[in-house]
Structure 1
Amino acid sequence: MHFIWKRLLATIPSLFGVVILTFLLSHALPGDPAAYFAGPAANADSIAEVRQKLGLDRPLIVQFLHYVGDLARGELGNSLTTGQPVLKDLVDRLPASLELSAFALLFAIGVAIPMGVLAAIRLNGPADHACRAIVTVCAAFPTFFIGLLLVYVFYFLLGMAPEPLGRLNEILYTAPPRVTGAFTVDALIAGDMEVFRASLAQLVLPAISLGLFALAPIARITRAAMLESLSSDFVRTARSSGLPTSKVLFTYAFRNSLLPISSVMGMVFSFLLGSNVLIEQVFGWQGVGAYAVSAVLASDYAAVQGFVLMMAILYILLNLVVDVLATLIDPRVRFEG
């Protein structure tokens, strides 16, 4: 517990810096939110009235202090685009983004780790060259391009995938009762396997599109960590002792490679949460990424500030989880930290 509290206290300066940067960057957005809120037919007087009502006519330092005071009370303001409290919008949409990112990470792990292990075992062989080629291709193409390509092939040409119109076809299916906000989990909780299969089908293409980009760093670090473990003294000793190859590979080499692999997976998951904006646009996914895009286009200060602040907090919490997992995998990390 002392280790966790120490890590949490170390995040306070980072959070304060994020609050300052979020406020300044959101106010640097092009456009005038008062003009957007007043409407296209508004004149200068009505825009000035709206600006005064929103508090945008106050000095920047006064707006910042008011913003910090609202944060201390757990208030993120109201969104100009939806008219709802920003906190409610984020809570409603965050499970969709978490669900998409989690499935993308599971896909990336399921492909990248076996591929990296096989490439390390068969160094400079066909499997190793194939791993390098796949990693290079996955890292080279942007996620939205892969998403559009998959939609064109599997939906338009082959008709194998459902329409890329969000998390669930609400004309054919009813969303499950909200428990976690993730449709696949909530459908399982409700015992509705038909909705589970439908929501899972909607997840396949966006999760693969996002997961292919995440596959590259995980495969690289898995290959590098396994090569380091396989060349270490304890693995050579285990081999010379006559232990079975499978035991040497997975009990000794792979187990000692878990620390760097788990570390990079935490960073990849936080990256997926922040980079699924384009994928959500391509597939009509109702997540926080699409919400952030709408907020930026409308110069919606409160929504942009809330999104960036939420992503920063999630990133810090994910790093904390990775640190805790690292101490479970290798207790020496606790003392080195």
Structure 2
Amino acid sequence: MKTLLVIGRRIVSALPSIVGVVIVTFLLARALPGDPAAYYAGSSATPESIADIRSRLGLDKPLVFQFVDYVEKIAEGDLGTSLSSGQPVLNDLATRLPASMELTTAALIFALAIGLPLGLLAAVKQGSLADHLCRIIVTVGAAFPTFFVALVLVFIFYYKLDWAPQPLGRLDEIYFSAPDPVTGFYLVDTLIAGDLEAFRGALSQIVLPAISLGLFALAPIARITRASMLAALSSDFCRTARAMGLSKPRILIGYALRNAMLPIVNVLGMVFSFLLGANVLVEQVFAWPGIGAYAVNAVIASDYAAVQGFVLVMAILYVLLNLAVDLVATAIDPRVRYDG
């Protein structure tokens, strides 16, 4: 019951932020250069046809009335229709969101698999060559933009070495068939379907974009792991455990890492949020059909409904992600279980 109250409190506290996102997004979308009515009408349209389209889209109304119409549609679960695709924005986002979530999750797993051991090693071997080497690696990894790393990886592993497949999306559908959507994650759905060949094809497609995106997340994960582990290892309970003669692995894993997990989980939430927004350029490089590429095309086309829908969905995802991080944190550390 208390957990439900905490969840409700978190959701209520996030409502003002979502309202602010709706207002700011609406205003910024109208500030985009270009005329969506002219884009929709085409290059051969006459001023009369453009005016007619603007009237049918409701763009000739004052901003206040446009905003009221927009809020009423949101309340009905209608995010509008995309001028670019001609489909409801909600359908477009629902179709593309699993691709972005799969890429972001794969990038976070890659960053965790390398950043967590690096941070542990740097903390255990503080001041050693390994410590300095770890800090150099994570600093260099975070120094380059994700799109630059993506282009370099494509150039080396696809163009030069021919080890990677063509960067043409989630699956090369010339050789493989897309699995029936169950979770929306190709790596999971291909296993559910028992299609190991398609699984290997999907895995080969996601490796380079996941590395490109995950390299940037290495630095914060490794740094917070190192700092948290140093604080835990220097604490009284770890000194007492060493004095009692407990083994080093038990002290590291059972005591130090367990108590260091709370700040690590908190930073993982921020990193995941960042990766979900930062995958825009990576999706462009690898032709990944996610919501990032969808948002870029919407901005270029001054597609108000698509831009507003994208930002609103991302804001809701961030709220849900922060809620999940809070719940995991309370499960790790009972001292903060019902705080806030």
TM class by shorter-chain length? over 0.9
Within the candidate set 189, 197, 202, 1:199 is matched to: 202
Task: Look up the SS of the partner of 1:56 in the other structure.
Answer: coil
Aligned to 1:96: 99
Are 2:37 and 1:34 equivalent residues in the alignment? yes
Are 2:111 and 1:76 equivalent residues in the alignment? no
**Could you tell me how far 1:334 is from its partner in structure 2?**
2.9
Are 2:56 and 1:53 equivalent residues in the alignment? yes
Are 2:33 and 1:24 equivalent residues in the alignment? no
Task: Look up the SS of the partner of 2:295 in the other structure.
Answer: helix
For the Cα contact (< 8 Å) 2:93–2:310, is it kept in 1?
yes
Unaligned runs of 5+ in 2: none
Within the candidate set 146, 150, 153, 1:150 is matched to: 153
Task: Look up the SS of the partner of 1:249 in the other structure.
Answer: helix
**Could you tell me how far 1:327 is from its partner in structure 2?**
0.5
Aligned to 2:169: 166
Are 2:126 and 1:132 equivalent residues in the alignment? no
Aligned to 2:313: 310
**Could you tell me how far 1:336 is from its partner in structure 2?**
3.9
Instruction: Return the alpha-carbon distance in structure 1 between the equivalents of residues 185 and 95 of structure 2.
Output: 10
For the Cα contact (< 8 Å) 2:269–2:322, is it kept in 1?
yes
Task: Look up the SS of the partner of 2:178 in the other structure.
Answer: coil
Per-residue CA deviation, residues 211-231 of structure 1 (Å, 9 max, x unaligned), is 000111111100010011111
Are 2:246 and 1:243 equivalent residues in the alignment? yes
Instruction: Return the alpha-carbon distance in structure 1 between the equivalents of residues 332 and 11 of structure 2.
Output: 20
Instruction: Return the alpha-carbon distance in structure 2 between the equivalents of residues 8 and 86 of structure 1.
Output: 24
Task: Look up the SS of the partner of 2:337 in the other structure.
Answer: helix
**Could you tell me how far 1:335 is from its partner in structure 2?**
4.3
**Could you tell me how far 1:47 is from its partner in structure 2?**
1.1
**Could you tell me how far 1:3 is from its partner in structure 2?**
1.2
Are 2:206 and 1:182 equivalent residues in the alignment? no
Alignment of 1:249-260 (within 5 A): 249-260=252-263
Aligned to 2:67: 64
For the Cα contact (< 8 Å) 2:141–2:218, is it kept in 1?
yes
Give 4+ residue runs of structure 1 displaced > 3 Å after superposition: none
Unaligned runs of 5+ in 1: none
Task: Look up the SS of the partner of 2:313 in the other structure.
Answer: helix
Instruction: Return the alpha-carbon distance in structure 2 between the equivalents of residues 214 and 28 of structure 1.
Output: 32
Paired amino acid for 2:208 = L
**Could you tell me how far 1:255 is from its partner in structure 2?**
0.5
Per-residue CA deviation, residues 111-148 of structure 1 (Å, 9 max, x unaligned), is 00000000000001111111110111111100000000
> Structure 1 length normalisation: TM-score?
0.99
Instruction: Return the alpha-carbon distance in structure 1 between the equivalents of residues 334 and 32 of structure 2.
Output: 46
Instruction: Return the alpha-carbon distance in structure 1 between the equivalents of residues 135 and 194 of structure 2.
Output: 42
For the Cα contact (< 8 Å) 2:112–2:218, is it kept in 1?
yes
For the Cα contact (< 8 Å) 2:30–2:304, is it kept in 1?
yes
For the Cα contact (< 8 Å) 2:6–2:338, is it kept in 1?
no
For the Cα contact (< 8 Å) 2:150–2:282, is it kept in 1?
yes
For the Cα contact (< 8 Å) 2:330–2:338, is it kept in 1?
no
Are 2:330 and 1:327 equivalent residues in the alignment? yes
Task: Look up the SS of the partner of 1:11 in the other structure.
Answer: helix
Are 2:230 and 1:227 equivalent residues in the alignment? yes
Aligned to 2:108: 105
Q: CA RMSD in A?
A: 0.8
Per-residue CA deviation, residues 187-233 of structure 1 (Å, 9 max, x unaligned), is 01111111011001000000000000011111110001001111111
Query: Identity rate of aligned residues, in percent?
Result: 64
Task: Look up the SS of the partner of 1:161 in the other structure.
Answer: coil
For the Cα contact (< 8 Å) 2:89–2:309, is it kept in 1?
yes
Paired amino acid for 1:45 = E
Paired amino acid for 1:57 = D
Aligned to 1:300: 303
Deviates more, 1:177-186 or 1:192-201: 177-186
**Could you tell me how far 1:4 is from its partner in structure 2?**
1.2
